[in-house]
């Protein structure tokens, strides 16, 4: 999952970015409203965290413009303003949630998980391929009924592959959804993570989950 963090206070922005990264999310930061709109126009985000008091364009205006442009991902407003009318203004601009500063990072994470949780009309809370299961609300993976020990990034990568099962996804697509804007496309990090995943899935000649599609990328097949 890739998240846009629009926050003009550098320490707060970096704190949020690092925390999200440790949880397996890819996060890009924008110091002002104009940069937030630019990044949102160029990258496929699954969630946007917008500080209300942004320079150039405030968070409420950014939210309005994002919605007007067709941005469908959830939006959470972050602000020191705790008046009811301020919250109403933010929510009416198109935001899905509103978190008042200062906040505990655990609460931010819980709200992020809630906003990213699949809705019944969109997808199941448990992604599966054969006996491989990914429980999104619990953030747990199982194979043949037994727990899989995955790193945060491995979990995110496997989630993306499962969401696109039986469909070839390119390295570029993986980068856009699993890694942040600072990812060095000249490295073999994706291939290394795929290799680690295959090893943990116990792949062999008889049983293979992740297939390399020459010239296209990778595909996780459902009929394992």
What pLDDT tens digit does each residue of the chain (224 aa) get? Answer: 899 999 999 999 999 999 998 888 989 999 999 999 999 998 889 999 999 999 999 999 999 999 999 898 999 999 887 777 777 777 788 889 989 888 899 999 999 988 987 655 445 578 888 889 988 777 889 998 999 999 988 998 999 999 888 889 888 888 888 887 777 767 888 889 999 999 999 887 678 889 998 888 899 987 65
> b/e per residue, 77-105, with b = 16+ CB within 10 A?
bbbeeeeeebbebbbebbbbbbbeeeeee
Report CA-CA distances (Å) from 6 to 68, 81, 135. Answer: 18, 16, 29
Burial class (CB in 10 A: 0-12, 13-18, 19+), 143: middle
Write down the pLDDT at residue 220: 92
Q: What is the C-alpha R_g of the chain?
A: 19
Residue spans per domain, the chain: 2-116, 126-220
127 with 140: CB under 8 angstroms?
A: no
CA 80/CA 221 separation, integer angstroms: 47
Give the helix ranges, DSSP H, for 74-188: 84-92, 105-116, 152-163, 171-178
What pLDDT does residue 215 have? 85
The CATH number of the structural domain formed by 2-116 is 3.40.50.2300
Tell me the fold of 126-220: Arc Repressor Mutant, subunit A (1.10.10)
pLDDT of residue 58: 92
Complete DSSP assignment for 172-205:
HHHHHHHS-TT--TTS-HHHHHHHHHHHHTT--S
What's the pLDDT at 120? 52
pLDDT for the residue numbered 16 = 94
- Rounded to an integer, what distance in angstroms lies between the CA atom of residue 134 and that of residue 125? 8
**2-116 and 126-220 have identical folds:** no
**Residue 73 · residue 94 · CB < 8 Å:** no
Does 102 sit behind a cis peptide bond, omega within 30 degrees of 0 on the bond before it?
Answer: yes
pLDDT value of position 118: 65
Give the pLDDT confidence score for residue 121 in this predicted structure: 43
Nearest to 106 by CA among 19, 8, 46: 19
In contact, 129 and 165? CB cutoff 8 Å? yes
pTM of the entire structure? 0.65
- Separation between Cα atoms, residue 64 and residue 171, nearest integer Å: 32
DSSP summary character for residue 80:
S
| 169-191 residues labelled b (16+ CB within 10 A) or e (exposed) | bebebbbbbbbbeeeeeeeeebe
Which tokens sit at 99?
A: 């978190």
The reported pLDDT for the residue numbered 124 is: 58
């Amino acid at each position: 999952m890739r998240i846009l963090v629009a926050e003009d206070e550098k320490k707060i922005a970096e704190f949020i970015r690092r925390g999200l990264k440790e949880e397996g999310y890819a996060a890009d930061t924008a110091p002002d409203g104009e940069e937030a709109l630019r990044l949102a126009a160029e990258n496929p985000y699954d969630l946007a965290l917008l500080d209300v008091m942004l320079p150039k364009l405030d968070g409420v205006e950014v939210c309005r413009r994002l919605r007007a442009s067709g941005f469908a991902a959830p939006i959470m407003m972050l602000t020191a303003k705790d008046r009811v009318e301020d919250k109403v203004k933010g929510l009416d601009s198109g935001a899905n949630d509103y978190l008042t500063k200062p906040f505990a990072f655990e609460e931010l994470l819980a709200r992020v998980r809630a906003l990213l949780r699949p809705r019944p009309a969109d997808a199941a809370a448990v992604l599966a391929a054969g006996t491989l299961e990914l429980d999104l609300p619990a953030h747990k993976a199982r194979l043949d009924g037994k727990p899989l020990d995955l790193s945060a990034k491995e979990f995110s990568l496997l989630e993306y592959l499962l969401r696109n099962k039986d469909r070839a996804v390119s390295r570029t697509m993986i980068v856009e959804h699993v890694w942040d804007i600072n990812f060095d496309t000249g490295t073999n990090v994706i291939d290394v993570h795929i290799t680690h995943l295959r090893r943990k899935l116990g792949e062999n000649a008889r049983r293979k989950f992740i297939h390399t599609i020459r010239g296209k990328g990778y595909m996780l097949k459902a009929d394992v």
